[in-house]
Amino acid sequence: MEISEILNDHTIKTNMNAQNKEDALNELANLLLENEYITDVKSFMKDIYAREEKGQTGIGNYIAIPHGKSNFVKEIGVAIGINKSEIPWESLDGKGVKGIILFAVGNDNEGAQNHLKILSLFARKLGNDEVIEKLLQSEKTEDVKKAFCN
Amino acid sequence: MKIVGVAACTVGIAHTYIAQEKMENAGKKAGHEIAIETQGTIGTENELSSQQIQEADIVIMAADVKIAGRERFEGKRIIQVPTEVAVKSPNKLIKKAEEVLKQKQAQ
């Protein structure tokens, strides 16, 4: 079981140019749609924003982890955006964010134990300062994958 | 000292595991033995054994929801915080655990 199984080249975007939170979420959600992880951007975003209202998803160190369970998720996955500039975000350390990891998880996860397990291992990595440092410095998709998989 | 704990967040996808990683790293860095059970969407993982709980000097609960099997920790010294605290200031949290234990020993 490898974390790389949950990472997809097509849902990783470095040098992103989002100006605000909404831009960033839209861009990443569209990547999830194009790669068939979700079925509808608008409805998926509603569920993501429902979680945003419950508390900060900026975990400090310029990282945000918007997530929520949604009926509009077909397959468990993540979209990762490394933004060129810091954008405002509700965060634990009061700073903005540059690295955004958007989680796609369905409400019904029957038969998805394996994917959920990998996702939990992936989430764990986000608690590691070295991983975060490498992630934020990523220039290319390959760098993002290396940050998580080394 | 020996620390055990449980992490559980609202959705059970992200904060639970980030809190686990941060607490375990901070605990080890400070020279303690630490094991954190996670209760998330996938269920309970890294489940604490009754021996681990019995031997623990202190219990840290980083939780935004009700913990399953809380009765296992009855009679133990427990620090309870939201997952946010474990994610934001894991080192401070471990320090607090050290202080609480010191107070207990001084009594």
Q: Is A109 part of the contact surface with chain B (CB cutoff 8 Å)?
A: yes
Domain layout of chain A by residue ranges: 3-149
**pTM of the complete model:** 0.94
Residue-wise DSSP of A65-116? ----B-TTBSS-EEEEEEEEEEE---BTTS--EEEEEEEEB-S--TT-HHHH
- Domains observed in chain B: 2-106 (3.40.50.2300)
Residues of B in contact with A119 (CB under 8 A): 13
Q: State residue A55's pLDDT score.
A: 87
Out of B10, B17, B42, name the one closest to residue A124 (CB): B17
ipTM of the complex: 0.93
Q: List, for residues A2-61, the tens digit of each pLDDT value.
A: 899 999 999 999 999 999 999 999 999 999 999 999 999 999 999 999 999 988 999 999
Q: Which of A12, A145, A133 is nearest to A82 (CA)?
A: A12
Q: List, for residues B75-103, the tens digit of each pLDDT value.
A: 999 999 999 999 999 999 999 999 998 88
Q: Is A115 part of the contact surface with chain B (CB cutoff 8 Å)?
A: no
Q: List, for residues A112-150, the tens digit of each pLDDT value.
A: 889 999 999 999 999 999 999 999 999 999 999 999 986
CATH of domain A3-149: 3.40.930.10
Residues of A in contact with B19 (CB under 8 A): 127
